[in-house]
Structure 1
Amino acid sequence: MGKKIMVVDDAMFMRKVICKNLQECGYTDIIEACDGEKALEMYALYKPDLVLLDITMPGISGIEVLEEIQREDPQSRIVMCSAVGQEQMIQQAVMLGAKDFIVKPFRPDEFRRIVRNAIES
C-alpha cells in the first residue's frame, strides 16, 4: 500500500496488536515508538503518512505529542488511541487537530475503517 504508519504506545502488547491489525489491512511500512519523546524523534526522521498515538503515556503525553507534531507539521494525520473513559481527552485531541480516535479495546472492523479514512482524507 506504500503508506508509512507510526504506532506510538507505551504498552508493547498494544503496539503488537495494532501492528498485526495494520498488517492484516496490507500496511507493511510500520514504525514503532514506545513513548512520546521517541515518537517526536521518529516523526521528524520518517515523516509517516499516519500516526496512531496513545493518549496516556509516561513522560510526554499523547496530547503533548499531538500538539508538537501539529505545530511542526499542520498537515499531519494523527489518530488518537484511548482507553474507555477518556472522552474528555479525546475531545481535546480532536480540537487540537487529531483526525479521529480509536477506543481500546477496539473492534478490528472499526479499526480498519478509521485507519483507511484517516489515510485517504
Structure 2
Amino acid sequence: MATILIVDDAKFMRLTLANMLEKLEHKVIGEAENGRQAIEQYRDLQPDLVTMDITMPEMNGIEAVSVITSEFPDAKIIICSAMGQQRMVMEGIEADAKDFIVKPFDETRVNEAIRRVLP
C-alpha cells in the first residue's frame, strides 16, 4: 500500500482519483488544488507518490514537479493530463515526473502507472 498525495484544481477529479486509489488499496494522505499547496503538502507528508495535474491556478504542475524533484530527488510523481497536452506531458517528464496518466482516468491505466513507478 502506497501513501499518495493527489494534486488537482478540480475537487471532482481529486475525489474520483481518491476513490480509485483507495479501491486499489492505496492510502490518500493529502490533497492539494495548486502547485504551491502541492509543494507544502509534499514537504509535510513526504508521500510515496504524487499524482500531479498540469493545468492549475497559482502554480502549474510542471513548475511544482521541478521544485519538488529539486528538493527531493527520489520523489515519485505521475503527471495527470487532459487529452491533447502532449507537449506539457513531455515537459513534465523532463522535469523528472516518472509517468503520466490521461483524463478521464482509467483504473487499469492508473494501476499500471503506479506499479511502474513504485518498486
Could you say which TM-score interval applies, normalised by the shorter chain?
A: over 0.9
- C-alpha deviation, 1:29, in angstroms: 4.0
Q: Is the 8 A contact 2:5 2:29 kept in 1?
A: yes
TM-score, scaled to structure 1: 0.94
- C-alpha deviation, 1:31, in angstroms: 1.2
Q: Which residue of 1 aligns with 2:106?
A: 107
SS at the partner of 1:6?
strand
RMSD of the TM alignment (CA)? 0.9
Can you give the 5+ residue segments of structure 1 that lack an aligned partner in the other structure?
none
CA–CA separation in structure 1 for the residues paired with 2:53 and 2:6: 8
Q: Which residue of 2 aligns with 1:38?
A: 37
Q: Is the 8 A contact 2:29 2:45 kept in 1?
A: no
TM-score, scaled to structure 2: 0.95
Aligned residue type for 2:47: P
Q: Is the 8 A contact 1:66 1:93 kept in 2?
A: yes
Aligned residue type for 1:81: C
Percent identity over the alignment is 41
Q: Which residue of 2 aligns with 1:57?
A: 56
CA–CA separation in structure 2 for the residues paired with 1:93 and 1:38: 18
